[in-house]
Amino acid sequence: MKSFSATLIVLGILFYVACNIEGDLPSMSAETLRSTHARDAWRRTVQGWENTTEWEQVPIIAPEWAHLGAIHPALVAALQVLISLGALLAWAPSSAASIAKQQ
């Protein structure tokens, strides 16, 4: 029972850490993207070779609520472990416990 308690404590700590991680992904600046795009702006299309800088570009704006649905994968993993351990304990056969006590 002590090892189970220790496991729950460790999982609780991991759960807390996973919930509080703020990910900062490396991103390219707008100037870097423009300079890279300007060097390689020609594309072969059905109409022939076209300069992509002349295409009409619509800005993509992410909604403010888009980040709310993001769940950290470690959080999902911790929940799966907790649920599976709880299920194993809840439906453990009583004969296995008595066999363990006899040995």
Per-residue pLDDT of the chain (103 residues; tens, 9 = 90+): 677 888 888 888 888 887 777 655 455 566 665 665 556 778 888 988 888 878 777 777 777 766 666 778 888 899 999 999 988 888 877 665 566 666 6
Phi and psi dihedrals of 53, rounded to 5?
A: -70, -15
Adjacent-strand bridge partners of 79: none
What pLDDT is attached to residue 80? 95
pLDDT of residue 82: 92
pLDDT at 68: 63
